[in-house]
Amino acid sequence: MNAPPQAVDYIQVTRDTYDTLGYPPYAWVHNEGPVPWAPMTKPLADCTVGLIASGGIYRAGQIAFHFKDDHSYRVIGTDTPAEDLRVTHFAYDLTDARQDVNVVFPLEPLHRLVEQGVIGGLAPEAYTFMGGIYSARRVREELAPTLRDRMVAQGVDVVLLVPV
| Residue pLDDT, tens place only, 70-109 | 889 999 999 999 999 999 887 778 889 899 999 999 999 9
Domain that holds residue 73: 42-162
pTM confidence score: 0.85
pLDDT at position 124 is: 98
The verdict on residue 23 lying in a domain is no
Task: Establish if 101 belongs to a structural domain.
Answer: yes
* pLDDT value at residue 43: 97
Q: For 32-43, what is the mean pLDDT?
A: 87
Higher pLDDT residue, 53 or 28?
A: 53
Average pLDDT for residues 122-128, to the nearest whole number?
A: 98
For residue 79, CA distances in Å to 37, 106, 149, 150, 157 come to 30, 12, 21, 17, 19
DSSP H or E segment with residue 150: helix 144-153
Give the span between the Cα atoms of 71 and 93, in whole angstroms: 20
16 domain-assigned: no
**Structural domains counted in the chain:** 1
What mean pLDDT is reported for the chain?
89
Residue 157 has what DSSP assignment?
S
